[in-house]
């Protein structure tokens, strides 16, 4: 027996708590079913502009700023794109080692700082708002 459909949305800091809420609903539904109590149907969960996996953010930055993923013509200078392309493998390697394969707060923070400096700074310096792009 189910009580109701439930939809949840958050923007943008919901990336921190919305997955936890969804997991808790799922876990509680398992207990409720086992005990013969009504369950809550989690119909959907939407995170607006949320980063759920930082390791996927930076390759996308390069594609948006230096490719044609968002605009017909890249808006960054060629020299900036060359630097971003050179930094991207190092960024991905350090994020993977410090944040994903084995989380270490210091190494993950250093990796994120490096990636942010090399792959996000140019957009901010260009006067563009990453929340209102393109």
List, in order of start, the domains of the chain with CATH numbers: 2-47 (no CATH), 54-132 (1.10.287)
pLDDT in tens, 10-61: 665 555 677 788 888 889 889 999 999 888 887 777 766 656 677 788 888 8
The model's pTM is 0.59
CB atoms within 10 A of CB 119: 23
Q: Which has more confidence, 134 or 37?
A: 37
> With 0-12 CB in 10 A as exposed, 13-18 as middle and 19+ as buried, what is 78?
exposed
Q: What is the pLDDT of residue 101?
A: 92
CA 17 – CA 70 distance, rounded (Å): 29
Residues 6+ apart with CB under 8 A from 23: none
């Amino acid at each position: 027996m189910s009580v109701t459909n439930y939809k949840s949305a958050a923007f943008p800091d919901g990336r921190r708590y919305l997955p936890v809420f969804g997991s808790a609903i799922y876990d509680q539904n398992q207990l409720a079913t086992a005990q013969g109590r009504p369950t809550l149907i989690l119909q959907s969960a939407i995170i607006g502009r949320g980063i759920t996996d930082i390791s996927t953010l930076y390759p996308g930055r390069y594609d948006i700023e230096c490719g044609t993923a968002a605009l017909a013509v890249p808006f960054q200078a060629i020299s900036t794109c060359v630097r971003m392309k050179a930094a991207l493998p190092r960024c991905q390697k350090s994020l993977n080692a410090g944040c994903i394969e084995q989380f270490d707060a210091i190494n993950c923070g250093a990796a994120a700082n490096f990636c942010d400096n090399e792959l996000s700074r140019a957009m901010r310096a260009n006067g563009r708002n990453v929340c209102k792009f393109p």
